[in-house]
Structures are given as C-alpha cells and as structure tokens.
Structure 1
Amino acid sequence: MTRQQARLFAIFSSAVVTIAFLGMTVDTHSQIPRLTHEDKLTPQVIAGKDVWHKYNCTNCHTLLGEGAYYAPDLTKIAVQRGPEYLRAFMHDPSRFYDEQKVRRVMPQQHLSEQEITDLIAFLEWIGHIDTQGWPPRRILVSGAAIPGTNAGQQAPAPSSEPVALGQALFNAAPPGCSACHSISPGVNLVGPTLADIATRAAQMLQSPDYHGKAKDVAGYIRESIIDPNAYVVPGATYSVEQRSIMPGNFGKELTAQQIDQLVAYLASLK
C-alpha cells in the first residue's frame, strides 16, 4: 500500500467510524424518552431528585452507575423493596441494621414526611427506567453473600416442573423475593426466613391469631403473596403500624401462572 493509499484508507475509515458513532448517538437519544418513561417525570419526581442531592445520598449510594460504592446501588430499590419498606427505613434506618453485625449503618437524616414521599417518587421513577439489565445483581441487606440467598444471581430453572420454575422465579428480579427473604433457618433479612414456611403455615392455620381466609398451606402462601396484610408476621422490621412492609402489588405484577409456581416452590420448604 502506497503512502497515498494509506492516507485515503485512514480518512475513509475515520469517516465510517464517525458516521456510525453519530448514528448510534442519534438512535440512543431518540430512545431516551421511551427508556426513561419521560412522560412520568412529574414535579414530585423532580422534588425527590432535589432531596437526593440535598442530603448528598450520592456520597454513599449509586444510581444508574453514578455515585459512590460505600453503600448499595439503589437503582432498583423501589421495585425490589416497595414504598412501605422505603418509608419505614427512611424514618429510622437503625431498625433494619445492627451496627454490631454489619459494621456500618445509614445515618439518621431526619427527613420530613414530604421529603420522604418525594424521594420515594424519585426512586420509583428511577426504578422503572429500562437500564438494559443494570445493576447486574439485586441489592442485598448486608453484603454480597448472605446464607440462604444466591448472592443476587438469577439461575435458569433446571426443569419445567412448577417447583423448579418457582425457585427460579423466587431468585429472579422481579419479583426479587430473595432480596428480602432467606431460605436458611434463622437468617432473617428484611422479611422473615422462608426456610420452613410450609410447616409454619400449617401451624398458623391452626392458631387463633390467624384471621385470614386461607384453608390450607398453599392457600396461606398464596394469600401472603397477594395480600401481605391478611396476616402480618410479628417482627420489629416486618411491619409499620400493623401493616406489612412487603409490596402489595404482586397480585397485579405477577401472572396467575407465576404465582402458582411460587406457591409450589414455597410449599416445598418444610
């Protein structure tokens, strides 16, 4: 190749790369309104963003890959944990974390009720952005490896049996059950361990304290998924003013088949 040919090749290659880059840039920007559901960017969401910056949340947390890594990534926290948990946590973080166990806790920020409401709206908006799979693993309560969890990694179902499909769904995000529930005895995360949920459900159905509508173990588990307030499990971090902090929208977010699969899996945990 002569010097002139090399020069022409370099110019042509640079032009092709530039055109491709500009094309991808235009395509990306054209998709941003859809990926970020820009139509739901309300004044309250913007107010929540201001709260996020006012209290320097980004000094510890990460959103969409931006921020510090001292504390968990919160990109999908509103989807994984729900507004009831977030509200209770922001009111009093010390209820959920023991400094003797995790060695670091979120400081009490003394947010007002309106600031909490606005911040939740902001995190909910962030949580529904199509992030193309980010973050790579779900948030966990006190680290990347907790007994009874799969460290946030989703594994494919080993078979098409309902129990196997339910186990895969339990570890999937959404619904992200394993982000709040362990399946190891005595390991309580945001919610109680589900290690022996089938046994405890059978016992609860016989208890005078139970006032739900379930008649059997499968029904109790199904009721707990669809209506967490039908029976609130006692526990300092499980409820606020007798209302469960578990999201109550799984009956709408999950299909009937998915709920059947989760019930089959949880009913096998004895």
Structure 2
Amino acid sequence: MNKRQTRLFAIGSTLVAALAFLGMTIDSHRQFPELTNADSITPAVTRGNDVWHANNCINCHTLFGEGAYYAPDLTKIAQLRGAPYLKAFLREPERFYNEEQHRRLMPNPNLEDPEIDDLIAFLDWVANVDNQGWPPRPILVTGSSIPGTSLTIAQQDISGPGKTENQMPPGARPVSGNESPIALGEALFRTATPACNACHSIAPGVNLAGPTLAGVATRAQQTLDSPSYSGKADSIESYIRESIVSPSAYLHPGEMYSAEGVSFMPTSYAESLTDEQIDQLVQYLASFK
C-alpha cells in the first residue's frame, strides 16, 4: 500500500473499532438493569448495603472480586449457605469458627436482628446478580488440614478424592449419560446449586458448614437404629434422600448445623434436581461406608 492507502486503512480501522466499542458499551448498559437484578433492590437491600459498609466487611471479604482476601468471597454466600445459617452465624460467629482450630477469627459485629436481616437481604441481592458464572466454584478459606495429608480443606474441595490438583474434578468436565449413577452423583455433588461440596467435606473429621460426609452410610444406619430418630426413612438410601429433600426431618447433632429446630441445609434440592438426579446423588453418598 502507498502512504495514502495506509492512512485511510488506519483511519478506517480506528473508526470500525470505535464503533464496535461504542456498540458494545451501549448494549452493556441496555442489559445492566436485568443483569444487576436492579428491580430487586428494596429498602432492606439498601439498608443492608449500609450495614456492610458501616462494619467495614470489605476489609476482610470480597464482593465481585473487590475487597480483601483474608476471608471468603461472599458474592454467592446467600445461595451457598442460606438465610438460617447466615443469621445464626452473624449472631454468634464464634460458634462456627475459632482461631485455635481454624487459624482465623471472625469478629462478632454485634448487629441487631433488623441489621442482620437487612445484611442478609443485601447479600441475597448480590448472589442473584448475573455475573456470568463467576466465581467458577465455591471459594473456601480455612487453615484446617485433612488428617494424614498436607492438603488444606480448600485444596481438597478442588481436587476431590484420589485426585491431584492438576486433574479436573468431575464437575469441571462433561459427564455423559453412559457413566454409572455413582459417577453422575459425584459430578452432581460439585455442580448442583448450591454445590454440596460448598458445605460438606468428604474427608474424615473435616467439618465445614455441614458435617463431613465421610462414612455417611454407616452413620445413616446408626441413626436409623437409634431411638432418637424421628424421620420416616427405613433404609440408608431413603435416609440420605430424606436428608437431601427434607433436611429438618432429622437434625444432625451439633449446634452449628441447625437453629431453632431448622436445619441450615438448603431445602431447594427437591425443586432444582430431578428424581433421577437425586437418586444418583444418593447412590454416590451411599458408597461412603
């Protein structure tokens, strides 16, 4: 090309790029109200935002990638934990974490119940913002290690049983219908909404927001044989299913797993999973003898 052609090409390319950028900017602003869940911003959400800032929560936590990294990202915490857990946690965080065991300490913010309700409303709004699938997995921060290994709980949740960190967990790869129900259940354990491994470990003795599921089949039979059991299950499989679809039917011993007779386990799986998927998840969990 001669100089004139080169100049025209440069000017034309710049105009095309500028128009494309302007078009994408306009389209982004067009989608913002829907993507940001703006219609759900209630007075409670606004007050909760004020509580978040007044207590400097961002000094330790992150939202949408903004903030500090001393404590877990809370972008999806309302979906991963649920309102009953968050309310009990914010009232008495020392019940759930302590410096001696977890190498960190969540300070008690000393919030009044209305402030807690508003903060949960704010976090629920944040969790429902369409952020294109980010974060890609639950971000767990803890100092506890798995007995007999050098892995942290967070590493264990990434890798899964018998895998290295360089291998993809079942929830990160395509799962075909030709795989066994247990393999499909293992994938669901990491991909259901909320993901089971956001609250449960499968390593012995490692309790997160929920009790470890290592040996859950054996404990299920022990619970069924116990006179204190008041649910309707009559087998290990039906007990595990009951725990998934009706988690408050039997409350796991330990004050950090329930409050006021209600389990912290989400009650949404009966609607978000099909009967076949629940069966697959049950078969996977029933394999932990």
**Residue number in structure 1 paired with 2:100:** 100
Q: Given the superposition, is the C-alpha separation of residues 173 and 252 from structure 1 closer, same or farther in structure 2, using an over 3 Å criterion?
A: closer
Is 2:157 aligned against 1:149?
A: yes
1: CA distance between counterparts of 2:156 and 2:23?
A: 46
Matched letter for residue 162 of structure 1: P
Is contact 2:85-2:264 (8 Å) kept?
Answer: yes
Within the candidate set 211, 215, 223, 2:230 is matched to 211
2: CA distance between counterparts of 1:18 and 1:190?
A: 49
Deviations 1:37-70 (A, max 9, x none): 3222222112111111111111211111222222
1: CA distance between counterparts of 2:54 and 2:74?
A: 17
Matches within 5 A, 1:40-55: 40-55=40-55
2: CA distance between counterparts of 1:73 and 1:173?
A: 19
Is contact 2:60-2:68 (8 Å) kept?
Answer: yes
Q: Which runs of 5+ in 2 are unaligned?
A: 144-150, 161-168
Is contact 2:202-2:213 (8 Å) kept?
Answer: yes
Q: How much has 1:173 moved relative to structure 2? A: 5.0
Q: How much has 1:209 moved relative to structure 2? A: 0.5
2: CA distance between counterparts of 1:141 and 1:151?
A: 15
**Residue number in structure 1 paired with 2:20:** 20
Matches within 5 A, 1:106-185: 106-142=106-142, 145-146=152-153, 148-150=156-158, 154-156=171-173, 157=175, 160-185=179-204
SS in structure 1 of the partner of residue 172 of structure 2: coil
Matched letter for residue 187 of structure 1: V
Is contact 2:103-2:142 (8 Å) kept?
Answer: no
Identity %: 58
1: CA distance between counterparts of 2:156 and 2:210?
A: 13
Q: Which runs of 5+ in 1 are unaligned?
A: none
2: CA distance between counterparts of 1:111 and 1:69?
A: 23
Q: How much has 1:104 moved relative to structure 2? A: 1.9
Q: Normalising by structure 2, what TM-score? A: 0.87
CA RMSD of aligned residues (A): 1.9
**Residue number in structure 2 paired with 1:202:** 221
Q: How much has 1:102 moved relative to structure 2? A: 2.7
SS in structure 2 of the partner of residue 248 of structure 1: coil
SS in structure 2 of the partner of residue 8 of structure 1: helix
Q: Normalising by structure 1, what TM-score? A: 0.93
1: CA distance between counterparts of 2:234 and 2:102?
A: 40
